[in-house]
Structure 1
Amino acid sequence: MFSKIKRILIGRPLRSNELHSQKLNNLKALATLSSDALSSVAYGPEQILIVLATVGALAFWYSLPIAVGVLILLVALILSYRQIIYAYPQGGGSYMVAKENLEMNIGLVAGGSLLIDYILTVAVSVSAGTDAITSAFPVVHPHKVGIAVCIVVVITILNLRGLTESASILAYPVYLFVFALAMLIVVGLYQVLTGAAPAHVHASIGTPVVGISLFLLLKAFSSGCSALTGVEAISNAIPNFKEPAPKNAAFTLVIMGLILASLFSGIVFLAYWYGIAPSAKETVLSQLGRAVFGRNGFYYFIQATTALILVLAANTGFSAFPLLAYSLAKDKFMPRAFTVRGDRLGYSNGIVTLGLASIILIIVFQGNTENLIPLYAVGVFIPFTLSQTGMILKWVRSKPKGWIGKLAANLAGALICFLILIIFFITKFQHVWMSLVFIPICVFIFHKIHQHYVAVGDQLRVDLSHKLSEIKTAGNVVIVPVAGITKVVEQSLVYAKSLSDNVVAVYIGSSPEAIDRMEREWAEWQTGVRLVTLHSLYRSVLTPLSEFIDMVKAKADKKGARVTVVMPQFITKKWWHGILHNQSGFLIMAYLLRMRDVIVTIVPYQLQK
């Protein structure tokens, strides 16, 4: 049944040689990997206005120079990540840059930050999309957390179906959103130029504002930089592009940057001109759409596409998180399960892990976007800063042709990103302090995983100079635990006798009567195998059995012999039949598997009905 449900939800398994069919062309890649960055237009300008509103509506004109600063940083990031794409075509983005140019621990900080960021990407995007839905339909507001969780489940299933299928489905909302905002900006600017838009609802540029300070402006600037989240996703997911992957990824990154810059600057300007103020009950984008179009069909079209892209922006995390987890796992800093492709050739373990982690985050924060965004932005700007710094060192060391210009772009980006980080920690420490806890914990876990893999590798590595043919063995002692005389025991004894002439059956009875009866029946059965009976005063099977195995093993070790335990085990025809039977056999096997130098063999007996 599970297999049938799985096939319905994620489709048939794909062969390994079909991997090329799962690569994305530029059109689909732009939708899949840019939805996070483009969707941030829906809340980035609003975050600027929320900060400026603390000193009054007169301060809203400062949103224009702040937006210019954000655009300058966007240009620096696009130039930097375009260089990263060509320098590190295998993907990995900030993690690869920091690891190779700075230091492994710094690379792990970047990797840990990005992993947390992608989880927050899903949580923030889905929570913001749910806010848009509940704004349009207030009656469902009490159920916003449940709605958000259901949306994450749906997106997870879509991604488990494969890149091309999810990209085909998700491309439409992304391009419809871009079209809707482009129309909003074009019509809004037309109204401004023709005088149809109100000209006196906003303060003139340069109007003195009481209470404004450099601290407040920097806080507003850092809040506006939340519009740049997701810019790095393309550099992390280069292997998802069709060949030539680096060239296609770089082109897609530039197009994304142009679209993001146009939409962001257009929304900020129109929000200023129309005198839009942030409200707890209605988003800035909703107010702007209502001011330009009124509450007509196109207004609702804007709201619908905004809700869709905010929800589906989570797909950027689902595209980039599994690839970053793969890079870390390949370097032995995350479980190897993250390197395994699933039925549909995606890294399904990474997809499922991201889905579960984001659901937990949504439940813990009750889908509150306002509290998640600062932590989300910090998770982005830490790897931004580290990758820019890493590229600076790369250019200084290698000095390729035209390296001065590249160095200047990265230096400007690194300084701005570092400044934003400092501003975040100074102005919003109560929201971002958790990053100072979570990221070190991530790095600590990475090191523990790496230490385990190194230790396992050292213990499993074979010295090829020691020829296996020259190793002498001194026989094998086979122990067969028996609970009675059954077909299961018969099959196990036949198998055990094929392994060795030294076979011992062990029966553990809870009473002298049970032991006497077993000895009589065993003698009558004439197995040719010696039976050892043990009396368990406390009705425990495991303790006397383990003590007997330890005694046999001690004697075998002196002779250089091996000890093998053959476990009889019957397997029920239906899964629920197993619930009706004692599971002591599995408990014994679980214990024996942890004993040193004891070989455990399971002999299954399949029940037919």
Structure 2
Amino acid sequence: MLTKLKRLLIGRPLKSNESHSQKLNKFKALAVLSSDALSSVAYGPEQILIVLMAAGSGALWFSLPISLGVLILLVALVLSYQQIIYAYPQGGGAYMVAKENLGTNFGLTAGGALLVDYILTVAVSISAGTDAITSAFPALHDHSVSVAVCIVVLITILNLRGLTDSATLLSYPVYFFVLIMLIIIGGGIYAALTGTITPIHQHAQMGTPAMGVSLFLLLRAFSSGCSALTGVEAISNAIPSFKNPAPKNAAKTLLMMGGILAILLAGIVFIAYWFGVHPVNDQTVLSQIAGHLFGRNIFYYMIQASTALILILAANTGYSAFPLLAFNLARDKYMPRPFKVRGDRLGYSNGILTLGALSIILIIIFKGRTENLIPLYAVGVFIPFSLSQTGMIVHWIRQKPKGWGGKLVINLIGALICYLILAIFFLTKFTNIWPVLVFVPIVIIIFHKIHEHYMHVAEQLRIDFSEPLPVIHSSDNVIVVPVAGITKVVEQSLTYAKSLSDNVMAVYVGDSPEAIEKMTREWNEWNPGVRLVTLHSLYRSIVSPLDKFISTVKYKADKSGATVTVVFPQFYTKKWWQSLLHNQSGVLIKASLIRHKDVVIATVPYHFKK
């Protein structure tokens, strides 16, 4: 029953050699990976106006030069991340750049900040979209947390179905939002040029002096407007998700995203200034513009619906980037190994499920009101921004490729602006963002603890190929030893198996011909005196191929009257929490083999000392 429900929700399992079908073309990738950045058009310009309004309506003209500054930073970031894509085509973005050029701790800082930022992306985006839904349907207001949780569950299931399925479905509302914004901008510019629509309020001319405007206020407005740049880094984290040539397609997608974001951001800021839009509590700036241009008709509600939808779908950027970043950290042994495992649909399911679960917890804790998390959200973006820019500066100085001087200047400008924004955040919003100073070091400590454990495991499992296995008396029993590699645990298990019988075979299940070839080569080099049987698993499952193999062995053994014994190598960690960092495949295999009659199951324990 559960299997049928799983198939209904996420679809049939895909073979490992079908991975190419889950790669994204540029237009689908743009929809999936740019929804967070594009959705910021709905609130980025408003954040600038809210800060400037503190100095009065006469200061709102400063939104134009401030937005120009934001666009300059956008250009610097896009050009920088385009260079990162080509320099680090395996993905990882700011984490890889900072780790390789600035050191491990800087890389972990960038990676940890991004992981937290993606969790906040989902929680904040879903909560903002839920607010739009409950505003349209007030009866749902008391159930806003439940609505938000349901939306998270739906998006999680959609992403578990695979990248292509989610991209196909999500591309329509994303491109619809872009089309709607272009219509608004086109209509606003036409009205401004022809004078057919009178402004809401008379705007101040550029250069008009305004009382209360200080450099500090302008910097605050600039840093608030930079919230429109969240999500720019997501494409560099997800390069492996693109069709080949992946780096080239990713770079083109990043340019398209940057161009669209620049046009939409500049257009909305200009129209808001021209029509004298003032930020108010009960209506967004975008809503005021749409209502003034087109009236409160069906098109107005289409605009509001597309805005609410893009805010919800902004969460999908987190679902696309979080699992891949978690994979890179797990590959470097800084996160649990299960984050490296691909699910039935070839996505990193554990990362997707973890992101969904943590986002739901955050929504429940804050009761769907995540406004206080937005400053943390912004800081979480600009920490990796700053570190990636700095890392690329070091990269160019070390490598000195052709034309490196111009690239260095781009990254230097970007780094200076990013550090300036971080300084402004800490100076003006310290009471909101101080948890970053506590949380980031804790995350780094956790990363190091995980890495230390894996290093201890590798040290204790490493064996000397030159030492032969001891030869002990044998019997006619058939002994099957499932192995995942050549380790101390396997050596101990084979020694025990050979003490029971001369008829011992090791069985290795590989998910690719390359993995099987590598294991066979290393096994022959080790030469433990035990035959190795290799099985190719098309669906990356260990349980099913091994179960079928043992059934075949049992059938043959029954004819000769021999007993089949399955000896499981099993290691046990010193501390309980360390067991959570390892796959529990042995438990699943044992559970599957229990149904076999007359098959003896033996476990050879290996206890770690560290």
Q: What is the TM-score normalised by the length of structure 1?
A: 0.78
Deviation, structure 1 residue 205: 1.8
CA separation of 1:116/1:172 partners in 2, compared to 1, >3 Å: closer, same or farther? Answer: same
Does residue 342 of structure 2 align to residue 344 of structure 1?
A: no
CA separation of 1:369/1:290 partners in 2, compared to 1, >3 Å: closer, same or farther? Answer: farther
1:23-102 correspondence to structure 2 within 5 Å: 23-102=23-102
Partner of 1:388: 389
Deviation, structure 1 residue 115: 0.3
- The answer to whether the Cα contact below 8 Å between 1:22 and 1:162 also exists between their aligned partners in 2 is yes
Partner of 1:185: 185
Separation of aligned partners in 2, 1:415 and 1:364: 36
Partner of 2:16: 16
Separation of aligned partners in 2, 1:351 and 1:154: 12
Partner of 2:520: none
- The answer to whether the Cα contact below 8 Å between 1:37 and 1:231 also exists between their aligned partners in 2 is yes
Separation of aligned partners in 2, 1:593 and 1:50: 57
Matched residue type, 1:344: R
1:310-459 correspondence to structure 2 within 5 Å: 310-459=311-460
Does residue 159 of structure 2 align to residue 159 of structure 1?
A: yes
Deviation, structure 1 residue 149: 1.2
Deviation, structure 1 residue 166: 0.3
Partner of 1:264: 265
Separation of aligned partners in 2, 1:319 and 1:342: 14
Deviation, structure 1 residue 56: 2.2
Separation of aligned partners in 2, 1:344 and 1:472: 46
TM-superposition CA deviations, 1:287-338 (whole Å, max 9, x none):
1111111111111111111111110111110000000000000000000000
TM-superposition CA deviations, 1:7-45 (whole Å, max 9, x none):
111111111010000000011000010011000100111
Separation of aligned partners in 2, 1:181 and 1:171: 16
CA separation of 1:352/1:604 partners in 2, compared to 1, >3 Å: closer, same or farther? Answer: closer
- The answer to whether the Cα contact below 8 Å between 1:135 and 1:282 also exists between their aligned partners in 2 is no
Separation of aligned partners in 1, 2:103 and 2:296: 55
Matched residue type, 2:240: P
Deviation, structure 1 residue 400: 0.5
- The answer to whether the Cα contact below 8 Å between 2:471 and 2:499 also exists between their aligned partners in 1 is no
- The answer to whether the Cα contact below 8 Å between 2:57 and 2:278 also exists between their aligned partners in 1 is yes
Matched residue type, 1:416: I
Partner of 1:461: 462
Partner of 1:546: none
* Gaps in structure 2 of 5+ consecutive residues: 476-497, 502-570, 576-586, 598-610
Partner of 1:138: 138
TM-superposition CA deviations, 1:184-206 (whole Å, max 9, x none):
00001100110123255222222
Separation of aligned partners in 2, 1:50 and 1:204: 19
- SS, match of residue 8 in structure 1: helix
Partner of 2:532: none
Separation of aligned partners in 1, 2:316 and 2:114: 15
Separation of aligned partners in 1, 2:473 and 2:228: 68
- SS, match of residue 208 in structure 1: coil
- The answer to whether the Cα contact below 8 Å between 1:223 and 1:374 also exists between their aligned partners in 2 is no
CA separation of 1:140/1:276 partners in 2, compared to 1, >3 Å: closer, same or farther? Answer: farther
CA separation of 1:436/1:474 partners in 2, compared to 1, >3 Å: closer, same or farther? Answer: farther
Deviation, structure 1 residue 606: 7.9
1:544-555 correspondence to structure 2 within 5 Å: none
Partner of 1:103: 103
* Gaps in structure 1 of 5+ consecutive residues: 476-497, 502-591
Matched residue type, 2:350: N
- SS, match of residue 280 in structure 2: coil
Deviation, structure 1 residue 605: 7.3
Separation of aligned partners in 2, 1:606 and 1:240: 41
Matched residue type, 1:72: I
Partner of 1:574: none
Separation of aligned partners in 2, 1:5 and 1:433: 44
Matched residue type, 1:175: Y
Partner of 2:197: 197
CA separation of 1:282/1:144 partners in 2, compared to 1, >3 Å: closer, same or farther? Answer: farther
- SS, match of residue 449 in structure 1: helix
CA separation of 1:108/1:186 partners in 2, compared to 1, >3 Å: closer, same or farther? Answer: same
CA separation of 1:375/1:593 partners in 2, compared to 1, >3 Å: closer, same or farther? Answer: closer
Separation of aligned partners in 2, 1:51 and 1:129: 23
Deviation, structure 1 residue 273: 1.6
Separation of aligned partners in 1, 2:62 and 2:316: 33
Deviation, structure 1 residue 500: 7.7
- SS, match of residue 106 in structure 2: helix
- The answer to whether the Cα contact below 8 Å between 1:111 and 1:324 also exists between their aligned partners in 2 is yes
Separation of aligned partners in 2, 1:263 and 1:605: 61
Separation of aligned partners in 2, 1:595 and 1:24: 43
How many residues align? The count is 493
CA separation of 1:385/1:500 partners in 2, compared to 1, >3 Å: closer, same or farther? Answer: closer
CA separation of 1:184/1:500 partners in 2, compared to 1, >3 Å: closer, same or farther? Answer: closer
Deviation, structure 1 residue 146: 1.7
Partner of 2:149: 149
Matched residue type, 2:379: V
Partner of 1:517: none
Partner of 2:606: none
Deviation, structure 1 residue 367: 2.5
Matched residue type, 1:101: N
Deviation, structure 1 residue 594: 8.3
Separation of aligned partners in 1, 2:340 and 2:232: 24
Partner of 1:171: 171
1:587-598 correspondence to structure 2 within 5 Å: none
Matched residue type, 1:417: C
- SS, match of residue 202 in structure 1: coil
Deviation, structure 1 residue 55: 2.5
Does residue 253 of structure 2 align to residue 242 of structure 1?
A: no
Deviation, structure 1 residue 595: 11
Matched residue type, 1:320: A
Separation of aligned partners in 2, 1:159 and 1:439: 28
Deviation, structure 1 residue 415: 0.4
CA separation of 1:500/1:82 partners in 2, compared to 1, >3 Å: closer, same or farther? Answer: closer
- The answer to whether the Cα contact below 8 Å between 1:55 and 1:211 also exists between their aligned partners in 2 is yes
- The answer to whether the Cα contact below 8 Å between 2:363 and 2:370 also exists between their aligned partners in 1 is no
Deviation, structure 1 residue 471: 5.4
Matched residue type, 1:225: C
Separation of aligned partners in 1, 2:382 and 2:595: 58
- The answer to whether the Cα contact below 8 Å between 1:135 and 1:281 also exists between their aligned partners in 2 is no
Separation of aligned partners in 2, 1:291 and 1:123: 31
Deviation, structure 1 residue 48: 1.0
Partner of 1:117: 117
Matched residue type, 1:212: V
Moved over 4 A (4+): 471-475, 498-501, 592-596, 600-607
CA separation of 1:68/1:260 partners in 2, compared to 1, >3 Å: closer, same or farther? Answer: same
- SS, match of residue 12 in structure 1: coil
Separation of aligned partners in 2, 1:365 and 1:332: 32
CA separation of 1:26/1:162 partners in 2, compared to 1, >3 Å: closer, same or farther? Answer: same
Separation of aligned partners in 1, 2:350 and 2:410: 37
Matched residue type, 1:18: E
- The answer to whether the Cα contact below 8 Å between 2:473 and 2:500 also exists between their aligned partners in 1 is no
Separation of aligned partners in 2, 1:436 and 1:74: 26
Percent identical residues: 69
Separation of aligned partners in 2, 1:205 and 1:164: 47
**Farther off after superposition, 88-97 or 125-134:** 125-134
Partner of 1:280: 281
CA separation of 1:228/1:605 partners in 2, compared to 1, >3 Å: closer, same or farther? Answer: closer
TM-superposition CA deviations, 1:423-462 (whole Å, max 9, x none):
1111111111111122111111100000000001111111
Indicate the structure (1 or 2) with the bigger Cα radius of gyration: 1
Partner of 2:556: none
Q: What is the TM-score normalised by the length of structure 2?
A: 0.78
Deviation, structure 1 residue 60: 1.3
Separation of aligned partners in 2, 1:131 and 1:73: 30
